[in-house]
Structure formats: C-alpha cells, structure tokens
Structure 1
C-alpha cells in the first residue's frame, strides 16, 4: 500500500486529537507555522488538512483569529 499524503496524515492526527478530547470543542488549533514546525511539513500541507477538516465540519476558521474545534452540539444549528 502506498504511503498516504502528508496532508491526510496531518488531518488524521488532528481528527484523532478531537476524537480523544485532547482538542476539545472551542479549542484553538496551533497556528500554521506551529503545525509546520511540529510536523515538519509545508504550509500547503497544513492548508490542505484544514480544508479537509473544515469540509468534515470538525473545525471552523475565523479570519484573522485562527481555526477552532467545532462544538458538535452547536454545529447542527
């Protein structure tokens, strides 16, 4: 089996952090530069992971502020 794309691995890592409660609803995710440094990836990898997580409804971006974990109880509103 071929290795998965780095953005998919990063998205899976963050998804797991959300599922386990390490990142709770309302928690702010690390900045793009922090994620790049922590995971040794480029900004485009982080951007693609965020796009996937946003599409899944797990996170929401607030321009100029950051990316936050969605509260599942409020995401249906």
Structure 2
C-alpha cells in the first residue's frame, strides 16, 4: 500500500489536534512557513492540506491574518 500523501498526513494531524481539544475554536494555526519547517514540505503541500480542511469546514482563513479553527457549530452545519 502506497504511503499517504504529505498533505493528507498534515490534514490528519490537524484534524486530530482539533478532535483532541489541543486546538480549540478560534485558535490560529501555525503559519505556512512554520508548517513547512515542521513537516519538511513545500508551501504548496501545506496549502493543499489547509484547503482540504477548509472544504471540510474545520478551519477558515482570514485574509492577512491567518487560518483559524472553525467554531464547532460551523463545522457541524454542513
């Protein structure tokens, strides 16, 4: 079985942090540069992971400020 793509591994890790309460609604995710350094990947890989999480309504981006964990009500309201 092929290894899971890096973007999926990052998305899984953030999902786990949200589910465990390590990241709470309103918390800011690390910057793209910080995540690149932490996971050893390109900015495009980080952006792909964030895009997937945004489509799942787990996080939302605020232009110029960063990416934040969505309120649980927002995530449940799909």
TM category, shorter:
over 0.9
Q: Please list every run of 5 or more consecutive structure 1 residues that lacks an aligned counterpart in the other structure.
A: none
As a proportion of its length, which structure holds more helix? Answer: 2
Q: Please list every run of 5 or more consecutive structure 2 residues that lacks an aligned counterpart in the other structure.
A: none
Aligned residue in 1 for 2:56: 56
What is the TM-score of this pair, normalised by structure 1? Answer: 0.94
The alignment covers a number of residue pairs equal to 75
Aligned residue in 2 for 1:29: 29
Shift of 1:72: 1.1
**4+ aligned runs moved over 4 Å, structure 1:** none
What is the TM-score of this pair, normalised by structure 2? Answer: 0.93
Distance in 2, matches of 1:24 and 1:72, equals: 9
CA RMSD of aligned residues (A): 0.7
2:11 counterpart SS class: helix
